């Protein structure tokens, strides 16, 4: 498996991958921090090497990370390697990955969809190995408060601000192609609550 980091403006994006699978993604203010975040999520029994230049596949994943960071609506075709994660963690990450751009869900709503408690969902979000591809920044506290965020609340607020799309109504979305539903709300509700209109 290869670990790669690339600078886009002021942000470093990172990826741990073995084409066509992605074991982790990150973004940070420095190359060292982006790589450190990747290492925290790499399975302990998988050998890896840090490369100075990204492969073509890694480059496409890094660009995806940057585009999500910039608030762009993206799609991707690579696989997120989750088999080493617990079943519960996979369920939380799957539900979070289904939250579309322009919307947020609460920790409690995710917990209602996948089981467990809001705190358990928060613990999974805090260790999310696929940020921002699995958009943990779109999971917020009760009453549309920001909750927590590893990159800091100012960054979470800024990312959500870039994702506003002018949606008005909440909606129910399917999670993982099953009968499970997750209620999501327009990101504008969070931004109004925290006074960033």
pLDDT value at residue 153 = 87
**Which of residues 48, 80, 112 is at a domain's end?**
80
Catalytic residue among 34, 95, 99, 136: 136
pLDDT value at residue 152 = 85
Does pLDDT of 58 surpass 60? Answer: yes
Helix pair 87-97, 107-114: axis angle to 10 deg: 120
Answer whether 19's CB lies under 8 Å from 6's CB.
no
Does pLDDT of 190 surpass 80? Answer: yes
**Which of residues 47, 80, 113 is at a domain's end?**
80
Mean pLDDT computed over every residue of the chain: 93
- For the chain, how many residues are written? 197
Quote the number of domains for the chain.
Answer: 2
Query: Do residue 101 and residue 166 come from a single domain?
Result: yes
Any idea which of 160-164, 179-183, 193-197 has the lowest mean pLDDT?
193-197
**Which of residues 53, 80, 107 is at a domain's end?**
80
> For the residues 164-177, what does the mean pLDDT come to?
92
DSSP secondary structure of 43-99: -TTS--EE-SS--HHHHHHHHHHHHHHTT------PEE--TTS-HHHHHHHHHHHT-
Query: Do residue 177 and residue 101 come from a single domain?
Result: yes
Token pair belonging to 136: 């943990």
136 carries an active-site annotation: yes
Query: Do residue 72 and residue 92 come from a single domain?
Result: no
Query: Do residue 166 and residue 186 come from a single domain?
Result: yes
Query: What's the whole-model pTM score?
Result: 0.94
Q: Calculate what percentage of the chain has a pLDDT beyond 90.
A: 84
Query: Do residue 103 and residue 54 come from a single domain?
Result: no
Query: Do residue 37 and residue 117 come from a single domain?
Result: no
Residue span of the structural domain in which 54 resides: 2-80
- Residue predicted with more confidence, 153 or 96: 96
* pLDDT digit string, tens, across residues 10-56: 999 999 999 999 999 999 999 999 999 999 888 888 899 999 999 99
Query: Do residue 134 and residue 184 come from a single domain?
Result: yes
* pLDDT digit string, tens, across residues 60-107: 999 999 999 999 999 888 999 999 999 999 999 999 999 999 999 999
Answer whether 128's CB lies under 8 Å from 169's CB.
no
């Amino acid at each position: 498996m290869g670990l790669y980091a690339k600078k886009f403006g002021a942000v470093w994006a990172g990826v741990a991958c073995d084409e066509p699978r992605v074991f982790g993604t990150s973004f940070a203010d420095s190359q060292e921090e982006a790589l450190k975040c990747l290492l925290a999520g790499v399975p302990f029994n998988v050998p890896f090497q840090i490369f100075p230049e990204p492969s073509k596949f890694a480059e496409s994943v890094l660009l995806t990370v940057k585009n999500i960071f910039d608030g762009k609506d993206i799609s991707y075709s690579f696989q997120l390697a989750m088999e080493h994660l617990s079943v519960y963690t996979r369920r939380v990450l799957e539900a979070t990955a289904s939250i579309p751009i322009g919307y947020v869900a609460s920790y409690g709503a995710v917990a209602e969809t996948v089981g467990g408690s809001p705190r358990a969902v928060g613990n999974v979000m805090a260790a999310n190995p696929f940020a921002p591809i699995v958009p943990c920044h779109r999971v917020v506290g009760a009453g549309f408060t920001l909750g927590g965020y590893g990159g800091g609340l100012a960054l979470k607020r800024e990312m959500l601000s870039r994702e506003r799309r002018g949606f008005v109504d909440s909606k129910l979305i399917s999670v993982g192609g099953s009968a499970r539903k997750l209620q999501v709300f327009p990101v504008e509700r969070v931004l109004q609550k925290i006074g960033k209109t």
